[in-house]
Amino acid sequence: MDLSLDALNMTLLLSLAFIFGMNNTGVVIGPLLVSRLNYRSAQVVTALGFIIGLLLEGYKLSYPIILNEVEVTRSIILGVTSITLLLSSILGMPVSMVNILFANYIAIEGSDTTYLIIIAWVVLPTLAFFTSMPIYRVIVRITSTLSLIGVIRFYVVALYIASFYTAYSIGSNNLGLLYSIGYSMDLYANYTMILLLAAFILGLFSGSRVSVYVSEGMVGLTPARILASIFNSSVILWISTQMHIPLSFIHILISSMLGSGMSVRPSIYNRRGVIILLIAWIILTIFSFLVTLLLSLMV
């Protein structure tokens, strides 16, 4: 075994976990900031959700990823993914780690389930757009029967519960996918999950810039729309985990936000912000795929 290469891969894995915590999962806390919930409390609740989700169901995402025994393959996948996400963090743009990581994987290894997963990436965000609308209407109907104090209490409790469930779903799916890349590194086999969670949580507590971007820079949402969006997204992500499909939470969250935002007229969203986000997703994913493919041909 090449211990130096194994150590490098563990360093890359932990770096990616930190960046992922700082970047993508900021969108879990971002919607809560719109409702003026306490930032540190939201971080603690979501951190617990991530940990429990990975521990209980993270293994379900090991099925789509089968790496060969060449450790340099792991180095390329982790390295290019880390650099791409670091670039998106510097730009303050939430970008899907799942899309980039899996695109880099198929650039080298290929996968029998590639087409099915790509189809799911299109179908499930579209489904989220439409299912968020009735969920929003149900929430509005429930709160219409409550007093002002009752409405405030309802949203505080419901948003914290939904935030925990969101973190749980991401932990089981997205963190599970990341763990599946690194769990077979023999040198650190007994410590990989602990170190991965530690790096991720540290990144989570450093991700305020992306949280602010989502909460202020893209979609104008009421507490009802926020609750409908994150609950709807979490359910769809959890279902995809049971189907062993890695799925970007950011994609389904944005689709849900737009869907719930269009449930009433006039709809409120930052069209320019959405377009910029879509362009960033496409460009960075293609860039990462090509760089990975080029490096794999060179080694």
Q: Give the DSSP letter string of 93-126.
A: ----HHHHHHHHHHHHT--TTHHHHHHHHHHHHH
Query: Given phi > 0 = left and psi -120 to 50 = alpha, else beta, which region is 272?
Result: alpha
Ranges of residues in the chain with a pLDDT under 70 are 1-3, 23-39, 63-71, 89, 92-94, 110-112, 182-190, 207-221, 264-271, 273
Q: How much is the pLDDT for 218?
A: 45
Q: Which residue has the tokens 């914290």?
A: 160
Kindly report the pTM of this predicted structure: 0.83
Judge whether 257 and 207 are in contact, CB under 8 Å.
no
Q: What is the dihedral of CA 288, 290, 295, 296, to 10 degrees?
A: 110
Q: Write a three-state SS string for 150-204.
A: HHHHHHHHHHHHHHHHHHHHHHHHHHHHHHHHHCCCHHHCCCHHHHHHHHHHHHH
CA 68 to chain centre: 26
pLDDT of residue 57: 92
Cα end-to-end span (Å), the chain: 18
Instruction: Map out the domains of the chain as residue ranges.
Output: 3-298
Q: What is the pLDDT of residue 129?
A: 92
3-state SS, residue 206: coil
**What's residue 93's pLDDT?**
65
d(CA 133, CA 272): 22
Q: Residue 123: its pLDDT value, please?
A: 93
pLDDT of residue 11: 85
pLDDT for the residue numbered 37: 62
Only one residue has tokens 């670039």, namely 87
pLDDT at 134: 93
Q: Which residues contact 292 (CB under 8 A, 6 or more apart)?
A: 76, 77, 80, 103, 104, 107, 108
Cβ partners under 8 Å of residue 119, min gap 6: none
Q: What does the block give as tokens for 272?
A: 């320019």
> Residue 26: which of 215, 161, 208 has the closest Cα?
208
